[in-house]
Amino acid sequence: MNFLSSLNRAQIIRQLSTDHFDLTIIGGGITGAGIALDAASRGLKVALVEKKDFASGTSSKSTKLIHGGLRYLKQLEIGLVREVGQERAIVHKIAPHLVVPEKMLLPLIKEGSYGELGTSFGLWVYDILAGVEGDDKRKMLSREETLTKEPLLKKDIVTGGGFYAEYRTDDARLTIENIKTANQFGAICINYVEASDFEYNDEHQIEGVKCIDRNAEKSFIIRSKHVISAAGPWVDNLRKVDHSLEGKHLFLSKGVHIVVPHARFPVHQAVYFDVPDGRMIFAIPRNRVTYIGTTDTPYKGDINNIPVYREDVDYLLNAANNMFPTIMLTIEDVESSWAGLRPLIHEEGKSASEMSRKDELFISDSGLISIAGGKLTGFRKMAERVVDVVAKKTDQPLKRNRTEDIPLTGGIFADAEAVEKYRSHLAEQIKQLGLTDYHAKYLVGNYGKQSEEILLKMKDFPEEPLVALARAEAWYSIQNELVLTLMDFFVRRTGRLYFDLPSIEPIKSIILNDFKNYFQWDENRLLEEQKVLEDAIRETSTFQPSTGG
């Protein structure tokens, strides 16, 4: 049975409810997905449940960078910088099609956050801690060299620049490929299943997770020796359910990103730049768009529905226009946006941007292991630490962690050069199907070598190439990636809602009809899915006028 086919949900849930597991993971973001792969590859029998779709929380709403966190040097978090700096290279190695090199320009400005000597030293230390070699090592640039790299910069305040290496990714795709790879090692992972409560033995130790299948609205129990909560912003909610919320707790910070056409903001490379209020944000080119972010503000609203306010958008537009004065971006230029929550560990007296991004473990008297904090870049090491804790609690010997040598599905490439060769080969191949170099880059960046299965299926559809491609992607994601809704497909499997919004209108009715046929939706479900997608398209580019906490 294909445990990643959406059409096999009933059988998957039947196995979850009848088998006994070594480990159950609550949360299908990048942290939970990483734990599932680590634990399953070490020999544990693993179950994972996610109450919505995989990566539907923070893990599809980050800045989408695998980066070392240069600013953490200023906060003297040397250990964090060393760990995530080194992890960049490892994550690139296991998924070079998904984690791609991205040169970063750090303009130095008069009275800015970084001075020339401090930046030179900081980037030098950064390279040493991260083990950076060759052409990726930092270069300090003169004023003229900086403006040549990025002519759009505000010329009268630029004094020089730093040029260094980071990596760009698609956080949702990275999560999905971790889930798929964990499945290859036997992990049983399911979305749209909510952990509602725990079952305890006579010693008040957790021995099961009470679940609700939100697709069928049926309840069942997963029996498990150990339970890990990797629920991100929802971690404290589950600690409350377990009656173990005491001591440290989460502080939620909202981060907003906006997307504009690259033609309106044609940066030559990613830029990490100063904002007048003393913060720094990114402008990152990505195929046909440039995205800008992020804000960093305390959040106390509904964690299931995080709004993008007009003032969030204005803040980012003003920041970009201040540093790049000739672009003159307006609200009409914003194609789409997203807002996510950082589940930070509360530190009294510190602002959101000052709080540490380190992860922490909370282990309750009942045995519930919760992990919170951390960064996208550090997901693999976070998973290793959690499974090491489980290893100490279990009576069975576990294999050593080896996820640094396990290529993620779609990413069996020797290196970035091999990815580029494959992309060039695919570009020639797809010309016969009426597609372009852009689509080769898109396909390889999303699916790696799995693109071939999509292109083969594309030949089954009679429509013009772009429609046939979308239908083939929908078929592939339903058969192999547990897609259940239109939003799963348009946001987390293809990224179209964020990065190619204009591509949705010509295909949405056809894809909707395909989903209806695959899942045998009735008219009510069909109308509901249509409304959710249309609301999302509208909300991603129209913004509420007032704040709400």
pLDDT tens, the chain, 549 aa long: 788 999 999 999 999 999 999 999 999 999 999 999 999 999 999 999 999 999 999 999 999 999 766 666 666 677 777 777 788 889 999 999 999 988 999 999 998 877 888 788 888 877 887 777 777 788 999 999 999 999 999 999 999 999 998 899 999 999 999 999 999 999 999 999 999 999 999 999 999 999 999 999 999 999 999 999 999 999 999 999 999 998 888 999 999 999 999 999 999 999 999 999 989 999 999 999 999 999 999 999 999 999 999 999 999 999 999 999 999 999 999 999 999 999 988 755 555 555 556 778 999 999 999 999 888 989 999 999 999 999 998 877 888 999 999 999 998 899 899 999 999 999 999 999 999 999 999 999 999 999 999 999 999 999 999 999 999 999 999 999 999 999 999 999 999 999 999 999 999 999 999 999 999 999 999 999 999 999 999 999 888 786 544
Domain total of the chain: 3
Task: Judge whether 549 lies within some domain.
Answer: no
Is residue 425 helix, strand or coil?
Answer: helix
For residue 355, the model assigns a pLDDT of 54
DSSP conformation class of 264: T
Only one residue has tokens 């200023």, namely 74
Same domain, 157 and 305: yes
Same domain, 107 and 196: no
Same domain, 219 and 157: no
Q: How far apart are CA 69 and CA 65, in angstroms?
A: 10
Q: How far apart are CA 284 and CA 266, in angstroms?
A: 10
Q: How far apart are CA 387 and CA 448, in angstroms?
A: 28
Task: Judge whether 118 lies within some domain.
Answer: yes
Only one residue has tokens 């979308």, namely 470
User: Which of these, 510, 454, 455, lies nearest to 477 by C-alpha position?
Assistant: 454
Q: What angle do CA 410, 411, 415 make, to 5 degrees?
A: 155
User: Which of these, 288, 294, 295, 296, lies nearest to 260 by C-alpha position?
Assistant: 288
CATH number at residue 163: 3.30.9.10
Q: Which is it for strands 46-50 and 188-191: parallel, antiparallel or unpaired?
A: parallel
- Contacts with 95 (C-beta within 8 Å, 6 or more apart), sequence order: 169, 174, 177, 407, 408, 410, 411, 448
Q: How far apart are CA 322 and CA 272, in angstroms?
A: 13
Tokens of 202: 């006579």
6 in Cβ contact with 482 (< 8 Å): yes
For residue 74, the model assigns a pLDDT of 62
Q: Distances in Å between the alpha carbon of 230 and those of 78, 97, 204, 252, 542?
A: 25, 26, 21, 15, 32
User: Which of these, 104, 164, 105, 97, lies nearest to 134 by C-alpha position?
Assistant: 164
Q: How far apart are CA 391 and CA 228, in angstroms?
A: 13
- Contacts with 144 (C-beta within 8 Å, 6 or more apart), sequence order: none
Same domain, 278 and 347: yes
Same domain, 328 and 421: no
Task: Judge whether 448 lies within some domain.
Answer: yes
Backbone angles phi, psi at 142, to 5 degrees: -75, 175
CB atoms within 10 A of CB 415: 10
Residue 400 sits in which domain range?
Answer: 6-58+172-249+358-405
232 in Cβ contact with 27 (< 8 Å): yes
Phi-psi region of 463 (alpha: psi -120 to 50; beta: other; left: phi over 0): beta
DSSP conformation class of 336: E
265 in Cβ contact with 61 (< 8 Å): no
Burial class of 356 by CB neighbour count within 10 A (0 to 12, 13 to 18, 19+) = middle
Q: How far apart are CA 426 and CA 399, in angstroms?
A: 38
CATH number at residue 469: 1.10.8.870
- Contacts with 493 (C-beta within 8 Å, 6 or more apart), sequence order: 172, 173, 176, 446, 473, 477, 481, 483
Q: Which residue type sits at 32?
A: G
Q: How far apart are CA 370 and CA 455, in angstroms?
A: 41
352 in Cβ contact with 256 (< 8 Å): no
Q: How far apart are CA 278 and CA 71, in angstroms?
A: 12
For residue 549, the model assigns a pLDDT of 44
- Contacts with 509 (C-beta within 8 Å, 6 or more apart), sequence order: none
Q: How far apart are CA 14 and CA 476, in angstroms?
A: 24
Rg over CA atoms, the chain: 23
Task: Judge whether 187 lies within some domain.
Answer: yes
Task: Judge whether 449 lies within some domain.
Answer: yes
Same domain, 471 and 502: yes
Q: Which is it for strands 100-109 and 188-191: parallel, antiparallel or unpaired?
A: unpaired
CB atoms within 10 A of CB 455: 22
For residue 545, the model assigns a pLDDT of 83
Tokens of 154: 């505000």
404 in Cβ contact with 94 (< 8 Å): yes
Which parts of 186-287 are beta strand (E)? 188-191, 193-200, 206-213, 218-229, 250-261, 270-274, 280-286
Same domain, 178 and 192: yes
For residue 531, the model assigns a pLDDT of 97
193 in Cβ contact with 214 (< 8 Å): yes
Q: How far apart are CA 258 and CA 334, in angstroms?
A: 7
User: Which of these, 368, 79, 340, 385, lies nearest to 232 by C-alpha position?
Assistant: 340
Q: Distances in Å between the alpha carbon of 223 and those of 79, 211, 530?
A: 37, 11, 37
Task: Judge whether 390 lies within some domain.
Answer: yes
Which of 354, 370, 395 delimits the end of a domain? 354
Which of 370, 405, 440 delimits the end of a domain? 405
Cis ω for the linkage preceding 294 (within 30 of 0): yes
Same domain, 447 and 535: yes
Task: Judge whether 65 lies within some domain.
Answer: no
Same domain, 269 and 395: no
Cα 253 to chain centroid distance, Å, stands at: 16
End-to-end CA distance of the chain: 46
CATH number at residue 33: 3.50.50.60
Same domain, 394 and 522: no
Same domain, 48 and 128: no
Task: Judge whether 71 lies within some domain.
Answer: no
Same domain, 17 and 145: no
